[in-house]
Chain A
Amino acid sequence: DAGVIQSPRHEVTEMGQEVTLRCKPISGHNSLFWYRQTMMRGLELLIYFNNNVPIDDSGMPEDRFSAKMPNASFSTLKIQPSEPRDSAVYFCASSPPGGNYGYTFGSGTRLTVV
């Protein structure tokens, strides 16, 4: 199993541009989570899906952030327009049915907005 796959690994963009982060969860996992890592807040949950349905998006910072999961094997996190304070490492994680403790994280996308 290739694990949770995130792309791109690094993204540098100019303020105001649209940014799309991508995630492929582990096959058979039915929950998917988007986290953001910052020094001040650690790993912060943005949104999570169960069976492709968004369950809790209370962590999404503002309307500039949106996430989709069109099928069980793909999810996107979009920031439009991006701002310098969005610079962080964004992680995607997935977990199997029967409880969400068995999180597997991807390697993350390091986003820099200049």
Chain B
Amino acid sequence: ELKVEQNPLFLSMQEGKNYTIYCNYSTTSDRLYWYRQDPGKSLESLFVLLSNGAVKQEGRLMASLDTKARLSTLHITAAVHDLSATYFCAVRSQETSGSRLTFGEGTQLTVNP
């Protein structure tokens, strides 16, 4: 059974600081997603990472994938308050058919002024 673990689960940081969220998964995967969820809202797709060494950046967020280590990171640069949200990684296992995703527990990020 595919397990996806994120850490930290809660992150409180100051504006302007940098930090990294980690996502570990337990079996081989060919696709990893990062989503953002604001309170009471839906999940918004941020990144899709398809191969080992893949790196994608959007604004102050950068995601990377190391399939050998079964690890993805979401790096936040010079955080701003607008980035406060819950961030989920989700993994598609190569061992299961179809497109089902298994989600991590989520990292609740609070950026303080």
Q: Do A and B come from one complex?
A: no
